[in-house]
């Protein structure tokens, strides 16, 4: 695609990071501070009789008033916890970043930096050893003098309690990473934690990444309740929300339900006190209201789905002439069309023919869609891992693209036994006309997009109808997995998604429709690579695996990849620090270093 249309300039981020193709310029407004020293000199008396009233006044600088950053997110978080016990328990990224800290944090390039620990374990050293039986052991040494936000000293014993809690099956996380890969946790002293792994786990060095963290929990606040209360009562304790105590850069001060919460910089934060004194986090569900607040200056930051792409672009266009703010685009959400491949559900059966899937892919004008829907800012996709960030090079090396080419589509359909009839529709002499259905979940944007895609296919000779799944059924796992033909959807992109296209992740009636492989597409070699990828420690080997996985996925058109949708973080010019990041990280990663001018 035309990369020039995706960014406003080649400038690096506000922290001086290396310039990359997906970085945007961050405007600054310079303020001139003038310091004046006024000396007040009293009238001098004769030297022999100095007046007691004669003085030199030495000015004393008054402490600066605390600065408050006002940020808006779309929904009030049900919890401030870093890990969720259920989907409805999860908090948006900004609140979890404000109040929590882990072993490491991923920087703007997606590289881990030590956070609670002094250094990260190094493979093939005494801090990260691989044992002959295929298990591992990692050792973490915490920074000295860490405290919880209520002043209680932090200890490695807090992690032992946390492991005991998260490994409890009734809480629902014991089978998710990293807990399913951990066999034992121990503490050799108050600052040293040792984790014994039951298998190779590539992220053991930092144990971070969205929904893959291993957070510490304050045992002095939770242990008695966990050991004495029913699980339902425990997960509904006020601790998880309005009485939250964490290790992050900000501590909770107040919470007005349905309106906002306020937080103050935590003096005992692991890497030092945050530069901005206070944050007021408001909950604004209406996007027009969010934009109006940003334009008026009442809100300085919009993030966590406070505004969708169109509103973000509108805000940027209004800010740009007066250099009042900017928008940082993040590319973490893959947008594409899953194609049903399981014989028990697929209609028409022709979708099982890779040539038909390739022809459908070649008949989608992705660039025109991107231009019309996202102003050309979206990243065109050929795989579920983005062409930027940690895996960019192997993805680009491996993918087999399917550019818009109706002649190529017609040739592929002819090879599959289809010809265009008098009505310009593809027809097979034995199977009859090609007729399929494209589904998507309810929502005006989804419906417009599915109409455009289906219309393009019909113009190219494919008879494709449209079907909208109502909101009441949109999250039903059976509905989302047993569709007959194709489903337009979004899903988080990245290595986790890439690893789900295996038989054991395929939703079926016999496993209660559980699993992330909703299309049912599998390939023996892809399965082997995916299983190897999640158990390989050497990064170069993992990159080679990604390249091969990307080739198999795209060559076989496991799905029709469209683009990575741009999500919005908007900030006023007087906020310094937010900048573009690799998909593995988030704009908020360096929150403690943000400044409010």
CATH of the domain at 400: 3.10.105.10
Structural domain contains residue 83: no
Give the CA diameter of the chain. 123
CA-based nearest residue to 568, from 316, 288, 389, 309: 309
Domain that holds residue 371: 332-566
The answer as to whether 201 is a domain residue is: yes
- The CATH number assigned to the domain holding 129 equals 3.90.76.10
Would residue 185 count as lying in a domain? yes
Do the domain assignments include residue 240?
A: no
Pick from 349, 353, 354: which is nearest to 431 by CA? 349
- 208 assigned to some structural domain: yes
Write out the chain's pLDDT in tens, 597 residues: 333 333 323 333 333 333 333 333 333 333 322 222 222 223 333 333 333 333 333 444 445 667 899 999 999 999 999 887 754 445 689 999 999 999 999 999 999 999 999 999 999 999 999 999 999 999 999 999 999 999 999 999 999 999 999 999 998 889 888 999 999 999 999 999 999 999 999 999 999 987 889 999 999 999 999 999 999 999 999 999 999 999 999 999 999 999 999 999 999 999 999 999 999 999 999 999 999 999 999 999 999 999 999 999 999 999 999 999 999 999 999 999 999 999 999 999 999 999 999 999 999 999 999 999 999 999 999 999 999 999 999 999 999 999 999 999 999 999 999 999 999 999 999 999 999 999 999 987 889 999 999 999 999 999 999 999 998 887 788 888 899 999 999 999 999 999 999 999 999 888 888 888 999 999 999 999 999 999 999 999 999 999 999 999 999 999 999 999 999 999 999 999 999 999 999 999 999 999 999
pTM (predicted TM-score): 0.83
Q: Which residues contact 132 (CB under 8 A, 6 or more apart)?
A: none
What is the DSSP secondary-structure string of 310-368? HHHHHHHHHHGGGT-EEEEEEEEEEEEEEE---TTT-SSGGGGSHHHHHHHHHT--HHH
Structural domain count of the chain: 2
The model's pLDDT over 356-370, given as tens digits with 9 standing for 90+, comes to 999 999 999 999 999
List beta partners, residue 327.
Answer: 570
Q: Give the domain-ending residue among 163, 190, 223.
A: 223
Inside any domain, residue 585? no
Q: What is the pLDDT of residues 305-321, one digit of tens each?
A: 999 999 999 999 999 99
Give the residue ranges of DSSP H helices in 483-574.
495-498, 524-533, 539-555
Is residue 350 included in any domain, yes or no?
Answer: yes
Enter the tokens of residue 191. 């600052």
């Amino acid at each position: 695609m035309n990369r020039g249309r995706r960014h406003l300039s080649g400038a690096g981020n506000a922290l001086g990071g290396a310039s990359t193709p997906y970085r945007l310029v961050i405007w600054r407004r310079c303020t001139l501070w003038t310091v004046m020293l006024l000396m007040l000199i009293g009238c001098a008396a004769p030297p022999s009789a100095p007046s007691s009233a004669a003085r030199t006044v030495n000015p004393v600088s008054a402490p600066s008033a605390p600065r408050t950053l006002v940020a808006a997110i779309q929904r009030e978080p049900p919890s401030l916890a870093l890990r969720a016990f259920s989907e409805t328990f999860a908090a948006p990224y900004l609140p979890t970043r404000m109040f929590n800290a882990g072993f490491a944090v991923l920087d703007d390039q997606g590289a881990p930096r030590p956070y609670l620990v002094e250094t990260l374990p190094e493979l093939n050293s005494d801090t990260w050893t691989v044992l002959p039986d295929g298990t591992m052991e990692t050792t973490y040494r915490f920074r000295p003098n860490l405290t919880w936000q209520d002043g209680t000293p932090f200890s490695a014993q807090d992690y032992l309690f946390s492991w005991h809690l998260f490994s409890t099956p009734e809480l629902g996380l014991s089978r998710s990473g990293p807990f399913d890969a951990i066999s034992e946790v121990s503490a050799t002293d108050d600052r040293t934690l040792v984790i014994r792994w039951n298998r190779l786990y590539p992220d053991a060095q930092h144990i971070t990444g969205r929904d893959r963290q291993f957070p510490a929990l304050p045992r002095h606040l939770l242990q008695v309740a966990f050991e004495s209360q029913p699980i339902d009562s425990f997960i509904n304790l006020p601790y998880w929300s309005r009485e939250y105590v964490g290790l992050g850069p900000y501590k909770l001060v107040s919470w007005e339900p349905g309106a906002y919460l306020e937080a103050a910089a935590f003096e005992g934060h692991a890497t030092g006190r945050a530069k901005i004194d206070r944050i007021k986090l408001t909950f604004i569900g209406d996007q027009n209201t969010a934009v109006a607040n940003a334009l008026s200056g009442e809100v300085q930051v919009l993030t966590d789905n406070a505004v969708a792409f169109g509103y973000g672009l509108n805000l940027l266009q209004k800010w740009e002439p007066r250099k009042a703010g900017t928008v940082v685009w993040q590319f973490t959400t893959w947008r594409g069309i899953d194609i049903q491949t399981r014989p028990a559900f697929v209609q028409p059966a022709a979708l099982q023919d890779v040539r038909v899937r390739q022809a459908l892919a070649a008949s989608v004008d992705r660039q025109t869609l991107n231009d019309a829907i996202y102003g050309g800012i979206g990243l065109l996709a050929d795989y579920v891992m983005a062409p930027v960030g940690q895996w960019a090079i192997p993805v680009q090396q491996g993918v087999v693209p399917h550019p818009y080419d109706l002649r190529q589509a017609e040739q592929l359909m002819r090879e599959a036994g289809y010809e265009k009839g008098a009505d310009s529709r593809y027809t097979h002499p034995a199977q009859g006309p090609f007729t399929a259905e494209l589904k998507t979940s309810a929502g005006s944007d989804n419906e417009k997009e599915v109409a455009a895609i289906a219309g393009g296919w019909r113009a190219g000779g494919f008879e494709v109808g449209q079907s909208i799944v109502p909101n009441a059924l949109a999250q039903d796992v059976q509905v989302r997995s047993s569709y007959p033909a194709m489903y337009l959807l979004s899903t988080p992109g990245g290595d986790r998604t890439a690893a789900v296209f295996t038989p054991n992740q395929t939703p079926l009636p016999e496993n209660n429709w559980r699993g992330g492989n909703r299309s049912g597409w599998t390939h023996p070699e892809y399965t082997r690579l995916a299983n190897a990828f999640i158990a390989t420690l050497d990064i170069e080997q993992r990159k080679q695996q990604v390249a091969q996985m990307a080739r198999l996925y795209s060559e076989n058109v496991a799905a029709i990849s469209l683009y990575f949708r741009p999500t919005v973080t908007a900030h006023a010019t007087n906020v310094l620090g937010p900048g573009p990041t690799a998909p593995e990280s988030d704009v908020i990663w360096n929150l403690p270093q943000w400044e409010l001018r």
